Amino acid sequence: MLHPTKLDSELFKSQTAYVKRNITVDTSTADFADNMMNHILNHRALEHPFFNHYAEHGLPPEKSKILYLETRHYFKHLPFYICGLAGLVDDDDSAGNDVLRFIAFNARDELGQSYSHSDMYKEFMFKKGITHDQLADYRPLPSTIALNQGIRTLYSTRPIARALGALYADETLSAGLVSKYNSGLAAEGLTESDRHFWTLHCEWEVGHSNAVFNIVEPYLQTDQDRSAFSEGVDQYLFLMENYWNGIERLIGYPDQ
């Protein structure tokens, strides 16, 4: 699969995706989810000026290290926060089993048997020259902490439709994020081998987004459900945009 920096919803409909979309999802739900996807992929949370500049030009080594230290604090706990969704499934919710299956599927992908994606990311950071001490001592920006805490709250607070909206934003946005991170690293001169963490996730995050698409139909049956789902999407995007604003202020641009 190609790894374009700019994504659109057609990529997620590919029959070669890691997880394919369920074609039996009703048209109304599919259209709503596609509209949400286009909103996510065109939002400033992904199309941020700083991030677009990074994707095209990369960063000098020391500024790049700061970016990837912040990035680690953004997502290092996400697999565990996603597990919080299990607490929102009611005993009499017949669709809840699919939510639980997604949680188990995601945890298996992210944590593996003994070697997690977090371990893989640490190896990537070491290749960039980030030391063990820098990893241990780094303190993230308040905006990064707010993103992390905000995601945790979204995934553990009712209504479940809002939490699933945040999850859909998370997984869909991630597909675009990893593509741009990968492009920025290529601009910095890293080899495909050194970018393995990112090229792998270019494939996986499209599949994870599709896996969420496949479970949300029962939770999008009413206008109230869809309003809550949209609210979850927008709250996640707000947190992510604020994350990039903080990094932009901290790092600036290479010519500054």
State the sign of the Cα–Cα–Cα–Cα dihedral 88, 94, 99, 100: positive
Per-residue pLDDT, averaged over 10-31, amounts to 90
At the topology level of CATH, where does 27-251 sit? Heme Oxygenase; Chain A (1.20.910)
Mean confidence (pLDDT) of the chain: 93
Judge if the upstream peptide bond of residue 159 is cis by omega within 30 degrees of 0.
yes
Q: Give residue limits of the domains in the chain.
A: 27-251
* Rounded alpha-carbon distances, angstroms, from residue 89 to 79, 171, 207, 208, 217: 17, 20, 23, 20, 15
Question: Rg for the chain (alpha carbons), in Å?
Answer: 18
Q: What is the pLDDT of residues 215-247, one digit of tens each?
A: 999 999 999 999 999 999 999 999 999 999 999
Q: What is the pLDDT of residue 39?
A: 97
State which H helix or E strand residue 151 sits in.
Answer: helix 142-154
* Other beta carbons less than 10 A from residue 35's beta carbon: 12
Contact of 42 with 218, CB cutoff 8 Å: no
Q: What is the pLDDT of residues 108-143, one digit of tens each?
A: 888 877 788 889 999 999 999 999 999 999 999 999
Q: What is the pLDDT of residue 255?
A: 63
Q: What is the pLDDT of residue 162?
A: 98
What is the band of 5 on the pLDDT scale with cuts at 50, 70, 90?
low
Q: Comparing C-alpha atoms, which of 81, 83, 75 is closest to residue 104?
A: 83
Residue 37 has pLDDT above 60, yes or no: yes
Classify residue 204 by burial, with Cβ atoms within 10 Å: 0-12, 13-18, 19+: buried
C-alpha 5: how far from chain center: 15
The phi and psi torsions of 254 (rounded to 5 degrees) equal -55, -30
What is the band of 3 on the pLDDT scale with cuts at 50, 70, 90?
very low
CA 112/CA 108 separation, integer angstroms: 5
CA 77/CA 74 separation, integer angstroms: 8
Contact of 202 with 3, CB cutoff 8 Å: yes
Q: How many CA atoms lie within 13 A of 165 on its CB side?
A: 28
Q: Comparing C-alpha atoms, which of 85, 51, 78, 83 is closest to residue 67?
A: 51
CA 218/CA 89 separation, integer angstroms: 12
Lowest mean pLDDT among 98-102, 169-173, 203-207: 203-207
Q: What is the pLDDT of residue 61?
A: 96
Q: What is the pLDDT of residue 150?
A: 97
Per-residue pLDDT, averaged over 185-208, amounts to 91
Q: What is the pLDDT of residues 78-92, one digit of tens each?
A: 999 999 999 999 888
* Rounded alpha-carbon distances, angstroms, from residue 14 to 19, 20, 207: 9, 7, 10
Classify residue 175 by burial, with Cβ atoms within 10 Å: 0-12, 13-18, 19+: buried
